[in-house]
Amino acid sequence: MKAPIRELADLAPLPLPRGRVADLVEDLRAEIVTGAIAPGATLVQEDLASRFGVSRMPVREAIKHLQMLGFVTVEDNKRARVAELSRADFVEIYDMREAAEALAMRSAIPHLTNAHIDEAADIQDRIEGVDPKGFGALNMAFHMVLYRPSGRTRLLAHVEMLFNAADRYVSMVSAGPELKAKANAEHRALLEHCLARDTDAAEACVRTHIADARDALVQFF
């Protein structure tokens, strides 16, 4: 028996939330990342709707999106909880990031313009002066500017999901000056490889950058 043919629309990345749902996703994500809502905590739709002054529907949609991002788990009884943190989960996220981002970087190189690279360099300037709470968003912005020219929308959505999942862990760590300096140097080296359109060097740089961060940060968990 042949498998049913799926329409192309069925293979598209899941849609991003909009309006009040998007605001709720961002607010709840920030509380989860910072630990204001603890791992394992139950998310009660009625309580959240009352706290944010909305109906249960946008809360339900926000929880579904947070589940797709890996911040929330939904049990068989439909109870939603903040996903637990673990060393194994952290390592898995970074292993997946290494594979996915290496592919994204390799795919993007033929389509990168100097304008893309200049934009990433401007973000890196900001990264070097940002406080730890602002690092995650800028770090994702830096990498995504370099990956988006690949045009691989499903891969890019997967990479963004992994960045969001990793941010929960990275926000817990106060990286020392040596680790920060190393990460900044690796970003600068990646920009040079991109300027040279050196696909192999850029991919290798991304792999090393993510693997070294994983190995350095795993001790905290």
Comparing C-alpha atoms, which of 75, 100, 78 is closest to residue 162?
A: 100
The string of pLDDT tens digits covering residues 65-118 is 898 888 899 987 789 999 888 899 999 999 999 999 999 999 999 999 999 999
User: What are 199's two structure tokens?
Assistant: 């696909």
What three-state secondary structure class fits 34?
helix
Whole-model pTM?
0.79
Which amino acid is residue 18, in one-letter code?
R
Q: Residues 6 or more apart from 95 whose CB is under 8 A from it?
A: 214
Task: Identify the H or E element spanning 31.
Answer: helix 19-34
Q: Which of 69-78, 152-161, 186-195 has the lowest mean pLDDT?
A: 69-78
CA atoms within 13 A on the CB side of 186: 20
CA distance 123 to 175: 19
What three-state secondary structure class fits 73?
strand
Q: Residues 6 or more apart from 193 whose CB is under 8 A from it?
A: 201, 202, 205
Instruction: Name the band, by pLDDT with cuts 50, 70 and 90, for residue 35.
Output: confident
Position 12 scores a pLDDT of: 43
